[in-house]
A and B are shown apart, each in its own frame.
Chain A
């Protein structure tokens, strides 16, 4: 079955710096890749997603890139702010289903932005 690996598990950056989180997946049929942000004790919230027919997507300070050949995708946050501090999860929708909610999640990255 699908397996999603996420690195690093923790990331600490200075405010204003960029942060990059990387994920790899095993199922070449996976075709939907969302990123969720989860603050302590709160629900996961979708921040950006990408489908396999697109190589890059950007939304203000957040961007996601996808390399289908290498089976990896990355989250890029520029000009980080303290409120970006949270746990970030990548996910993949396996089996080519494109199902936006049937997801295999990575292990999470705890991002700390120091003021």
Chain B
């Protein structure tokens, strides 16, 4: 089993540029999460999907962040335009269901905005 796969692993962009992150969850996992982890801190939830529906996006800065999970499998997280404060590791996680099974994390995408 490949686990949760994210790409790219690293991304360096200039401020005001757009950037996108991709996540492929574990096969069969219906629930998908995007987290942001700032240096030296714990992850913070940005958005949660149940299949293709975003059911919890209260923490997503909607003025510049967007996400989608077409067909309820892969997901992309986009930032446009990026700001210096967006530099962080963006983690994707998935679970078979939201109540009884472990949430598995991907390796993350380390974003540096310069």
Contact = CB atoms under 8 A, between A and B. Distances in A.
Is B a genuine binding partner of A?
yes
Given A91-B42, A103-B103, 6 more contacts: A43-B91, A43-B106, A43-B107, A44-B91, A99-B48, A103-B43
Interface string B75-110: 000000000000000010111001111111111100
Interface of B: 4, 31, 33, 40-45, 48, 56, 91, 93-95, 98-108
Tell which of B42, B48, B56, B104 has the most Cβ of chain A within 10 Å: B42
Interface stretch (A11-19, A57-65, A74-82, A104-112): A104-112
B100 A100 contact: yes
A78 B43 CA distance: 26
Contacts of B107: 42-43
Interface in A85-110: 89, 91, 97-108
B108 A43 contact: yes
Contacts of A97: 98
A105 B91 contact: no
Interface size class of A (residues with CB under 8 A): 20 to 34
Contact of A101 (B33, B44, B106): B33
Nearest to B97: A100
A15 to B, nearest CB: 25
A33 B94 CA distance: 17
A45 B105 contact: yes
A54 interface: no
Contact of A107 (B42, B48, B56): B42
Given A42-B107, A101-B95, A106 B42 contact: yes
A103 B101 contact: no
B40 A105 contact: no
Given A102-B33, A102-B98, A108 B41 contact: yes
A34 B43 CA distance: 13
